[in-house]
Amino acid sequence: MADNKDLLNVLWSGADVLRGKMDANEYKTYLLGLVFYKYLSDTYLAKAYDLLNDESPESLDEAQAQYEEAVKSEDAEDFLAELRSSMHYTLEPDMTYISILRDAQNNRFNREKLQAAFNRIQESDELFNGLFADVDLYSNRLGTGDQKQSATIAEVIKVLDGADLIHAEGDVLGNAYEYLIGQFASETGKKAGEFYTPHGPAQILCRIAMSGQEDKKGLQVYDPCMGSGSLMLSCKNYSKEPDYIKYYGQELMPSTYNLARMNMFLHRVLPENQHLRNGDTLDADWPTDEETEFDVVTMNPPYSAKWSADDGFKQDERFMDYGGKLAPKSKADYAFLLHGFYHLKQSGTMAIVLPHGVLFRGASEGEIRRILLENGSIYAVIGLPANMFYNTSIPTCIIVLKKHREGRDVLFVDASNLFEKEKKQNVMNKEHIDRVIKLYNDRKTVDKLSFLASYEDIEKNDFNLNIPRYIDTSEEEEEIDIRELSESFRDINREINECNEALLEMFGELTFSDEDIKGAVEEFIKVFGEV
């Protein structure tokens, strides 16, 4: 069975072929797209072999051979119909990865044939519409001229042959995929960071959002700023019924939306459990015509993004119950928060990552925050270390919200010092994550780490949630013993005097043949003695 290390080595070798020809944000599109194509093709052949033999193939070459024979048989029509029903897509025998690999190995690689394979998958089912739209096989980025461009793609095809995708466990393949996304994010910085949430914050957020819902069958998870879908998919790690989770997600960027779709399949999420959409979360509410409330809401939206804040949104059900106030045009943070909260079930939990400014900024944000606190909607505030995310170095926090609970107290956790420093980013390891989760679950005051604030405490602070107002992390200055300090000064002064006397004695023993030098030294001794 393929393990994570083997897959990473192969996938990273594929990246080496493209590195230098284009930046990481571009070559990740090619590499991840081709990986996904190989996964779909290999899985398709394995399924075809299983239908014919009721067992898994020993090799893809064997599966390819039997598939080629099957499509020529009298029962081909029924066989292909059953295959399509199972897989939701089709591939002609000459469109499989194995077939195209053979072409590449024999210097017969044809980009048109690979593009035809992409098109066939995309046209098979609505699930796959536009999935490979960003993989431009004719881009000048691949090289100058048809020959070099084809050679680059062919080389990646050959390298990826080393990735055994059909024998990889779902999470191994999916996690390897997400690892690469994270590596690309570290290379590209801000652009890639828009769709990747580092491991530490992601695990904290998901463990909190899933708390108390681990046993629920048919759990519904929602992320309206899903990026690559990693936050939603992380939730399955904490479910006892992961195969029954339904995922609802929306993403603005088409290329990132496609990544999320690929990621769902790589994590073996059934098509009927995928409900993903490419769209603007704030501009038009979604979903509205299917499930509209969810057990779990996870979010890492773009920080302090601009939005229209049009007056018409004051009548929008998502935003209308907050004193006629909207998030300001220059900072959509609370617009994202309220959108997610609107779609949360009464029994659910929402966890969102936002910059610290949402905790204390005034004006309309202050009014929205006050109403949320009056309603008891804000359950906890967790301050994260700075420099955790690829797209910003500013400190962020996790805000936990619940709709229906007793009490209006708020737990504050200061995790700003729970990290290890690496080259580019600070990292939270398992020990740090577990520490935060324990503080959250215990829900009590721990010196310099957490504080359970009553509603009255918060009201006295004018509904300001800035963590230092509730948790004092300053270190007490060590008391100075004046008597001990005076004695130390006295000892030091005595040692200085002894050294000076010894130095003067040494100068006094010197002899000189030059009268000018002798005079200068005697003058120095006189001045030094006065000092």
230-281: pLDDT as tens digits: 899 999 999 999 999 999 999 998 888 998 898 898 888 999 999 999 999 9
- Residue that the structure tokens 């045009």 belong to: 329
Residue 190 pLDDT > 50 = no
Do 6 and 232 contact (CB within 8 A), yes or no? no
Strand pairing category for 420-421 and 410-414:
unpaired
pLDDT in the model for residue 425: 78
Q: List alpha helices for 189-229, DSSP H.
A: 190-193, 199-210
Phi, psi for 19 (deg, rounded to 5): -65, 130
E strand intervals along 359-447: 378-383, 396-401, 410-414, 420-421, 426-427
Rounded Cα distance between 99 and 92, Å, is 10
Q: Each residue of 18-43: pLDDT tens digit?
A: 887 777 667 778 888 898 999 999 99
Confidence class for position 192, pLDDT limits 50, 70, 90:
very low
Do 283 and 336 contact (CB within 8 A), yes or no? no
Q: Each residue of 436-450: pLDDT tens digit?
A: 999 999 999 999 999
Give the number of other Cβ atoms within 10 Å of residue 194's Cβ: 21
What region does 214 belong to: left with phi over 0, alpha with psi -120 to 50, or beta? alpha
Rounded Cα distance between 380 and 349, Å, is 11
Q: Each residue of 94-147: pLDDT tens digit?
A: 999 999 999 999 999 999 999 999 999 999 998 899 999 989 999 998 988 889
Task: Give 521 or 456, the one with higher predicted confidence.
Answer: 456
Fold category of 4-168 in CATH: Ferritin (1.20.1260)
Rounded Cα distance between 71 and 93, Å, is 8
* pLDDT-wise least confident of 73-77, 246-250, 279-283, 288-292: 288-292
The average pLDDT across 193-199 equals 64
Rounded Cα distance between 32 and 38, Å, is 10
Sign of the alpha-carbon torsion through 179, 180, 185, 186: positive
Domain spans of the chain, in order of start: 4-168, 189-469, 482-530
**What Å distances lie between residue 455 and 308, 374, 405, 448, CA to CA?**
33, 8, 14, 20
* pLDDT-wise least confident of 194-203, 380-389, 516-525: 516-525
pLDDT in the model for residue 143: 87
Confidence class for position 394, pLDDT limits 50, 70, 90:
confident
Q: Each residue of 463-476: pLDDT tens digit?
A: 999 999 999 876 56
Task: Give 144 or 378, the one with higher predicted confidence.
Answer: 378
pLDDT in the model for residue 517: 72
Give the number of other Cβ atoms within 10 Å of residue 295's Cβ: 22
Does 3.40.50.150 match the CATH number of domain 189-469?
yes
Phi, psi for 177 (deg, rounded to 5): -60, -45
**What Å distances lie between residue 492 and 102, 232, 472, 527, CA to CA?**
83, 65, 38, 22
The average pLDDT across 84-92 equals 93
Rounded Cα distance between 26 and 78, Å, is 41
Residue 350 pLDDT > 80 = yes
Q: Which residues does 85 contact at the CB level (< 8 Å), separation at least 6? A: none
pLDDT in the model for residue 193: 43
Rounded Cα distance between 335 and 364, Å, is 11
Average pLDDT, the chain: 88
CA 368 to chain centre: 27
Can you give 87-113 as a three-state secondary structure string?
Answer: HCCCCCHHHCHHHHHHHHHCCCCCHHH
Total residues belonging to the chain:
531
Do 184 and 25 contact (CB within 8 A), yes or no? yes
pLDDT in the model for residue 188: 55
The average pLDDT across 190-194 equals 46
Rounded Cα distance between 531 and 522, Å, is 14
Rounded Cα distance between 124 and 16, Å, is 32
Sign of the alpha-carbon torsion through 298, 132, 1, 93: positive
**What Å distances lie between residue 223 and 201, 212, 297, 388, 402, CA to CA?**
15, 19, 6, 20, 16
**pTM of the complete model beyond 0.85:** no
Rounded Cα distance between 416 and 395, Å, is 8
Quote the radius of gyration of the chain (alpha carbons, Å): 32
Strands ordered across the beta sheet of 450-453: 274-278, 246-251, 220-223, 294-299, 344-355, 396-401, 378-383, 410-414, 450-453
pLDDT in the model for residue 5: 63
Rounded Cα distance between 202 and 117, Å, is 35
The average pLDDT across 414-441 equals 91
Can you tell me whether residue 268 is helix, strand or coil? coil
Phi, psi for 360 (deg, rounded to 5): -135, -10
Do 114 and 152 contact (CB within 8 A), yes or no? no
| C-alpha triplet 516, 520, 521: angle, nearest 5° | 120
Q: Each residue of 492-521: pLDDT tens digit?
A: 888 877 777 777 777 667 666 677 777 776
| % the chain with pLDDT above 90 | 63
* Burial call 151-167: b when 16+ CB within 10 Å, e when fewer: bbbbbbbebbeebbbbe
Q: List alpha helices for 54-169, DSSP H.
A: 60-70, 76-87, 97-105, 111-124, 145-160
Domains 4-168 and 189-469 share a fold: no
Rounded Cα distance between 13 and 462, Å, is 56
